Structure 1
Amino acid sequence: MMRRHPRGPVTIGALCAAALAAGLLAVPEASAAPIRIHDIQGTTRISPFAGRDVTGVSGIVTGVRGYGSSKGFWMQDPHPDADPATSEGVFVFTSATPAVRVGDSVTVDATVTEYYPGGASDGGQSVTELSRPKVTVVSSGNPVPAPVVLRSRDIPTRYAPDAHGGSIEHLPLRPAEYALDRFESLEGMNVEVDDARVVGPTDAYHELWVTAKPRQHPTPRGGTVYTGYRDPDSGRIQVQSLIPLAQRPFPQANTGDTLTGATAGPLDYNQFGGYTIAATTLGTLRSGGLKPEVTRKQRRGELAVATYNVENLAPGDSDTKYQRLATGVVTNLAAPDIVALEEIQDNSGAADDGTVAADRTVAKFVAAVKAAGGPSYDWRSIDPVDDADGGQPGGNIRQVFLFDPARVSFTDIPGGDATTPVGVTREHGHARLTASPGRIEPGDAAWTTSRKPLAGQFSFHGRTVFVIANHFNSKGGDQGLDSRFQPPARTSETQRVRQARVEHDFVAKLLAADRHADVIALGDLNDYQFSGALKTLTAGGVLTDLMNSLPADQRYSYVYQGNSQVLDHILTSPAIHRPDYDVVHINAEFAGQTSDHDPQIVRIRP
């Protein structure tokens, strides 16, 4: 149920022990008074007892996790101190199924450790735990400490202290000023959200996201929109369940639904969602009535161009996936004239066997579109060099142009292959590609282990239209919003800025050959509308990002950790006037999604 990183050498207990021996770490003075949970948790993210053995720590069991690689239980002191920065709860890691029940009063002898769920190198925060425990049950059937209700007014809007990229682990917690500090001050304690709106749909791992600040950046469809690096949504919190699925199936929730009543349990932290309610009580699901969107059909004089990331589509995928993707193209996108597909895998899927051709993958998709009542699409693409373009190993993902030959024609110009860069010429006063399809600067270091842009030349009603299909490098390796380093490092952005610069310069060449050239650049750019990559791509007005033409609360194509955010874009050159642009929400907000991206479409009159 829970994707916990296998346990290994990821605690800082040994490091703290060494620091103690060297006199580099101060510890509380010895006292005859028993050590309490709030003493162990302390007023920073790192326990003052980290690496030390403690005895006789008492508490009431509030939750038991008997599955996954992180088996154990939470316990909470029913007699809190007066310091809002110190948590009264802690997780006891037993490694085997715990022999305790909720309501047991226990004492624990153990070693205090700081466990990094994703490994310390990932940049996430640690969980203060009691490890290698000796547990004594004193009594059973005791009242469980009442949960702390997470109300909107009690969660600061400011997300995290600014450590100029450094660690915030040893900074004193200020739960009244920062949301991350507020959650950390409750780590391991029973918490509750009431009538919580779902802002991230249920995934395959039985997880969803809610917001405890429902008025914070709401979208018209019930989500929470991510508006900038300095303004992350502080009310988001993940929900998992400690209730056996056979006893209480996990709710299959879409964005905009509500968990009515109380959702409550110990506050955990994990590498896939940060602070998480490990629910012992789940609210009742109430539908928000969200429906997939359907865009309008293009008119006779309009050219409709769409982009759709079809999430590692391979011939071995189920017929159902193909049918649902095809329905999205035919019904929800109203059968565009041109569709740029991202993440088309080769004919052997993820098998790393040297296969690079993808004709079987595309043919199966084209047939599914036809069966769904769509046009008989033709297609163009370029096979990559084996294992050179990143993505799922062996999959050789690439971009593909589908086009309806009854509405638009593709201008085939020989010479394009995996390694030959496409150029720009000028003929009779107009720009022309040297190869169509062709790849933009495939040998440039900007595209190392990443997809190369695919450029194509089309003709619509006698007018040339250039389309560039993109899939920039992923955000893999970036630190999360909840990182212990604040602000978090976005190391992957450097390569995307370089990619954007290469493509910007190519578009500039097209416009230098013909300032009236109709250029559409589109696809999964893996970055936000306010990012450095998009600022680079649009510099000097060579392209306009149509995402910014939407109202601010509608700028999203993807939902991640409860944030409705932008990864996919359509950009147009200055000659394209009054483009009709639409993000068609059919996937990202839904539990039963076919892809994790929503497609987009633009209608133009060249």
Structure 2
Amino acid sequence: MRLSLAAVYAGALSLPAAFAVSISEINGNKFLSPYIGQAVTQVTGLITAKGPDGLWLRSTTPDNDKTTSDSIYVFGRTILANRTVGDIITLDGRVTEFRSSSGFLYLTQISSSSNVVTVSTGNEVTPLVLGKGKLNPPTGQYTSLDTGNIFGVPNNVSLVSRVNPILEPEKYGLDFWESLIGELVTIEKPRAVAKPNNFRDTWVVGKWKTSGDNKRGGLTMTDRDANPEAILIGTPLDGTRNPTNTKLGDGLADITGIVYQAFGFYRILPLTALQITDSARPELPPATELRYKGDCKSVTFGVYNVENLEPNSVHLPAIAAHITNYLGSPSVIFLQEIQDNNGATNDAIVDANLTLSTLVTEISKLSSVPYSFVDIDPVDDRDGGQPGGNIRVAYLYDTSVVRLHNPNPGFSTDANEVLLGPKLKYNPGRIDPQNTAAWTASRKPLAAAFETLDGKNLFFTVNVHFGSKGGSSSLHGDARPPVNGGVNDRQRQAEVTASFIASILEQDANAKVIAAGDFNEFAFVAPLETFVAKSGLRDLDEVAGIKETERYTYLFDMNSQQLDHMYISPALTKGAEFEHVHVNTWATTDAPSDHDPSVARLNVCGK
């Protein structure tokens, strides 16, 4: 059943008599039509496209107002009969606003059409060309309601549907796309900035100004900029299907289609399926050159979310190959999403020794590096993730390079402490695992102390996997700023973890500390700003001088973004090197993980 805002208005208002208005007047200069729920007559327009459930009209008397679209969707299958693209028609109908979920923006449309008359046929249909003249999407902000920071906290302080601001298409991305809603447009020489989603929809940009461009051709999310200039290409109107093998940075043939709003995003419904014209090369990145050189000045550290890894995972051999061939077999590897020995089977098993030993065995087929592993089992079904999987963080470490310093592992509910030395009460041990305010169905960080085999070089590690972004709203959604799901949980987790690390550095400002993992957050958002400020650590991307646009480990919607980070203490900054290895974001949809791994090379010499 289709539900629309018109029903709300119809129940509350006495509707006026029908009257004639233009398409641009129906759309108005805001997100919602000024004629919601009202009957209109003699609406005149040129049919520019047809879909399975309606057609699109462009006004024959455009108003030349950049804030008002001259096109509109006419919903209803009966109007399709005997209608052809290029016909000019008049009709009566009712103005409605439709959305399929309360979190989405509305689509202005005409419903219940009647008295449809064909005025003429065979008229020329010419699309607007995006990127020409004033048809350039803004590159910074999404709406005036985000108050300059789409990542601002608190989220969801206003709603587009409630405020209904006047459109400013030259300043704000959503305003730009709304001002073109229903228009037939062309994108010349587009490129893909993401992989297709499960519906084969693909985010693209065209020949217009963009920000956040990375070397692969994607758009990297940066502080206060989540790339509103990108647009989603949806289901083709001719019934064909978009390709599934589009990769980040691929070149595409020109796209012509209708600007539309559905399922939480502005999109273009192409007349025909996307065509790949130029596939990005190389298909995968080169292996890292950050290798261990045989001394304490060159110990290497990897971080990798291995996506629900269990002993029988079909992607386990590929993960092992990545560790060996692309990451150069790091001396210590921070792993996230290690599942228990029977994966998603929801029983009392929490042990992951078989998962980790199977991974080590697979690596041993490719390399002579003697890896051992360490983790701590969670309490059954208390750490979130896939039900029954009992995901946790874990370490692999090269026993020919490092060893645990005075091993003394804790149990699931044992809270690690920093004792005089500094040293750890449990090695390894979980950080404040019974703090239910911080760890609501979320993984607990695992702190460990390692040393080189001669016992002269001690360093501390903290492996994290903060709470997920589940419950987030669309960047194109009604809530402004968009809901950043779990941000309050991550704020508490950042504070707890940072305080633990700070207690190490309070005892020894020269202590060597590395915190790494899937933080599920961006470096420029409140939880990680808090983490840096309170922990005393520094963002290794900044230390190593990684260009902002190359800081990404994950693809989501239109953005290349960074959820996986490494932070180091001041004693480790000199000569520190870092690299994100894009083996998964560059690959097709069958990549073994949805996260890229990263590798660092650090000097851990000295006590």
Instruction: Give yes or no for TM over 0.5.
Output: yes
Structure 1: distance between partners of 2:322 and 2:276: 31
SS in 2 for 1:510: helix
SS in 2 for 1:575: helix
In the alignment, structure 1 residue 431 sits paired with structure 2 residue 422: yes
> Residues 358 and 214 (structure 1 numbering): CA distance in 2 closer, same or farther, change over 3 Å?
farther
| Residue equivalent to 2:325 | 331
2:73 to 91, 95, 101: 91
Deviation at 1:544, TM superposition (A): 0.8
2:128 to 148, 157, 160: 148
1:390 to 365, 368, 384: 384
- Say if 1:343 and 1:397, in contact at 8 Å, map to a contact too: yes
Deviates more, 1:498-507 or 1:485-494: 485-494
Task: Write the mapping of 1:280-429 to structure 2, written as runs, cut at 5 A.
Answer: 280-281=271-272, 282-293=274-285, 294-296=287-289, 297-301=291-295, 302-318=298-314, 321-373=315-367, 375-411=369-405, 413-426=407-420
- Say if 1:330 and 1:374, in contact at 8 Å, map to a contact too: no
Structure 2: distance between partners of 1:100 and 1:412: 82
Q: Deviations over 1:93-131 (max 9, x none)?
A: 4589976776274666655332234x21x3x32222344
Task: Write the mapping of 1:29-178 to structure 2, written as runs, cut at 5 A.
Answer: 30=17, 32-33=19-20, 35-54=21-40, 57=43, 59-66=45-52, 72-94=54-76, 103=85, 105=87, 111-117=94-100, 119-120=101-102, 122=103, 124-131=104-111, 138=118, 142-143=122-123, 145-151=125-131, 154-163=136-145, 164=147, 165-169=157-161, 170-178=164-172
Structure 2: distance between partners of 1:460 and 1:336: 14
| Residue equivalent to 1:259 | 252
- Say if 1:323 and 1:372, in contact at 8 Å, map to a contact too: no
- Say if 2:49 and 2:258, in contact at 8 Å, map to a contact too: yes
- Say if 2:250 and 2:276, in contact at 8 Å, map to a contact too: no
The residue type paired with residue 346 of structure 1 is D
The residue type paired with residue 168 of structure 2 is R
Structure 2: distance between partners of 1:214 and 1:222: 13
Task: Write the mapping of 1:512-523 to structure 2, written as runs, cut at 5 A.
Answer: 512-523=506-517
The residue type paired with residue 448 of structure 1 is T
Structure 1: distance between partners of 2:238 and 2:61: 30
Deviation at 1:510, TM superposition (A): 1.6
The residue type paired with residue 499 of structure 1 is Q
The residue type paired with residue 51 of structure 1 is G
In the alignment, structure 1 residue 15 sits paired with structure 2 residue 8: yes
1:600 to 578, 598, 604: 598
The residue type paired with residue 98 of structure 2 is Y
> Residues 327 and 130 (structure 1 numbering): CA distance in 2 closer, same or farther, change over 3 Å?
farther
- Say if 1:347 and 1:355, in contact at 8 Å, map to a contact too: yes
The residue type paired with residue 415 of structure 2 is P
- Say if 1:104 and 1:137, in contact at 8 Å, map to a contact too: no
- Say if 1:221 and 1:290, in contact at 8 Å, map to a contact too: no
- Say if 2:90 and 2:119, in contact at 8 Å, map to a contact too: no
Task: Write the mapping of 1:518-537 to structure 2, written as runs, cut at 5 A.
Answer: 518-537=512-531
SS in 2 for 1:334: coil
> Residues 415 and 53 (structure 1 numbering): CA distance in 2 closer, same or farther, change over 3 Å?
same
Deviation at 1:341, TM superposition (A): 1.3
Flag structure 2 segments of 5+ consecutive residues without an equivalent: 148-156
> Residues 209 and 96 (structure 1 numbering): CA distance in 2 closer, same or farther, change over 3 Å?
farther
Q: TM-score, normalised by structure 2?
A: 0.86
| Residue equivalent to 2:151 | none
| Residue equivalent to 2:150 | none
Structure 2: distance between partners of 1:353 and 1:78: 66
| Residue equivalent to 1:440 | 431
Structure 1: distance between partners of 2:361 and 2:42: 68
Q: Deviations over 1:494-548 (max 9, x none)?
A: 2212211111110112223333322110011111122222221111662111122
SS in 1 for 2:13: helix
Structure 1: distance between partners of 2:120 and 2:395: 65
SS in 1 for 2:600: strand
Q: Deviations over 1:408-452 (max 9, x none)?
A: 2234634512211111222xxx32211122110111211112111
- Say if 1:162 and 1:487, in contact at 8 Å, map to a contact too: no
SS in 1 for 2:189: strand
Deviates more, 1:489-498 or 1:129-138: 129-138
| Residue equivalent to 2:154 | none
Structure 2: distance between partners of 1:308 and 1:97: 54
- Say if 2:18 and 2:41, in contact at 8 Å, map to a contact too: no
Q: Deviations over 1:33-84 (max 9, x none)?
A: 3x44333322211122323455665545544554xxxx55444445433332
Percentage identity across aligned positions?
A: 33
1:493 to 478, 487, 491: 487
- Say if 2:62 and 2:70, in contact at 8 Å, map to a contact too: yes
> Residues 312 and 112 (structure 1 numbering): CA distance in 2 closer, same or farther, change over 3 Å?
farther
SS in 2 for 1:413: coil
| Residue equivalent to 1:224 | 219
Structure 2: distance between partners of 1:392 and 1:346: 11
Q: How many residues align?
A: 576
RMSD value over aligned CA atoms? Answer: 3.0
SS in 2 for 1:200: coil
In the alignment, structure 1 residue 201 sits paired with structure 2 residue 195: yes
| Residue equivalent to 1:24 | none
1:552 to 548, 551, 573: 548
SS in 1 for 2:26: helix
Q: Deviations over 1:197-232 (max 9, x none)?
A: 222223343122112335423212222222212x33
Structure 1: distance between partners of 2:364 and 2:238: 43
Q: Deviations over 1:272-305 (max 9, x none)?
A: 5x22111114454212314422101221112111
In the alignment, structure 1 residue 585 sits paired with structure 2 residue 600: no
The residue type paired with residue 224 of structure 1 is L
- Say if 2:28 and 2:34, in contact at 8 Å, map to a contact too: yes
Structure 1: distance between partners of 2:110 and 2:382: 45
Structure 2: distance between partners of 1:371 and 1:214: 48
> Residues 587 and 72 (structure 1 numbering): CA distance in 2 closer, same or farther, change over 3 Å?
farther
SS in 2 for 1:392: coil
The residue type paired with residue 221 of structure 1 is R
SS in 2 for 1:494: helix
Flag structure 1 segments of 5+ consecutive residues without an equivalent: 1-6, 22-26
The residue type paired with residue 228 of structure 1 is D
SS in 1 for 2:193: strand
> Residues 518 and 102 (structure 1 numbering): CA distance in 2 closer, same or farther, change over 3 Å?
farther
- Say if 1:104 and 1:139, in contact at 8 Å, map to a contact too: no
The residue type paired with residue 232 of structure 1 is A
Deviation at 1:312, TM superposition (A): 2.3
Deviation at 1:269, TM superposition (A): 2.1
